[in-house]
Amino acid sequence: MGEQSFGGVHWIEQHAQRLAVMPGAGGGVVAWQWVRDGEPVDLWRAWDGRTPRMQALASYPLLPWSNRISGGGFEHAGRFHALAPNTPDDPYPIHGDGWLQPWQLTRSSEDGVHMQLRSAGFGGSPYHYEASQSFTLVDGGMDQSLSVTNRGEHPLPFGLAQHPWFTRTPACRLSARVDGVWLARPDKIPTGYTTDFPEGWNLGQGALVDRLVIDNGFGGWDGEALIEWPERDLALRMHSTLTLPDGSQARPDCLLYAPAEPPVFCFEPISHPIDAAHLPGQPGWTEVAPGQSMALVVEWRFSSSPADRSAATA
């Protein structure tokens, strides 16, 4: 799984930006571009137009949970819920199942698109839910939202995340205030949380992404981040918030994935750490009762060069 029959790209253009979504391919994004001086500049790493894998898209939504779950599933309210691996290259189920199903384009305008998904036990999953996502182009950026409503008969823990891909350049720097990081085994499952950052991992000091090989979650994030590409004269800010089932606001965690190859990386706002179901206290693993919802909102703003880095650094 993870491969799709790609097709049905839908473009909108407004506010000197171009956005292309592919609802039938997991509700994914094909490209988000800033038209600067008449030329399109990729803000997210764009799909190559050929590779039929979700991981090749510019971005895609993660729900009803994010990243990996070990142990063959999870226990909730005294009942074990089995989850099978859902990709050929990972021993654990990963990123939920919303990215593996076709979404419906329900609304489009000059400056925005809206998509919906109704999922009922996909692949034997215990989750029955309704999800929606929207993208709104605004002056200088884009507002993005993802929400999920439990349509099952029983409360279950849910999670949300976004999975944008970025181009990695030698001078690319990521800055985000965090207070610690989840260390992990080679299979990416966390072993413990520490405030003693490995060399180069303290995002609050600004991390040179091209020097890292990493796939780890960070905690204590304030929801603000700044990505800079000096070679491209480009900067991208993000602000993320969570709305919990009781209507209260919370700060998400974040995850940085930078493989050795190819020269790309992901910086993901996530509602819970990797394998939260099996961590002490199950941080961020949010129970959603039937009919209740939770939502993740991300505001993106771009510029040629940031005035200062204080909003995203310690």
User: Residue 249's CB: how many other CB atoms inside 10 A?
Assistant: 10
**3-47 residue pLDDT tens:** 445 679 999 999 999 999 999 999 999 999 999 999 999 999 999
Please choose, from the candidates 291, 285, 273, the residue with its C-alpha nearest in 3D space to the C-alpha of residue 218: 273
pLDDT value, residue 307 = 56
% the chain with pLDDT above 90: 92
pTM, two decimals, is: 0.94
**240-278 residue pLDDT tens:** 999 999 999 999 999 999 999 999 999 999 999 999 999
pLDDT value, residue 50 = 86
Tokens of 238: 């993000």
Rounded alpha-carbon distances, angstroms, from residue 163 to 57, 265, 266, 284: 10, 10, 7, 18
Spatial distance between the Cα atoms of 153 and 130, rounded to a whole number of angstroms: 13
170 against 309, higher pLDDT: 170
Tokens of 218: 């960070």
Please answer whether residues 303 and 217 qualify as being in contact, where contact means their C-beta atoms are separated by less than 8 angstroms.
Answer: no
Please choose, from the candidates 201, 45, 189, 21, the residue with its C-alpha nearest in 3D space to the C-alpha of residue 116: 21
**126-144 residue pLDDT tens:** 999 999 999 999 999 999 9
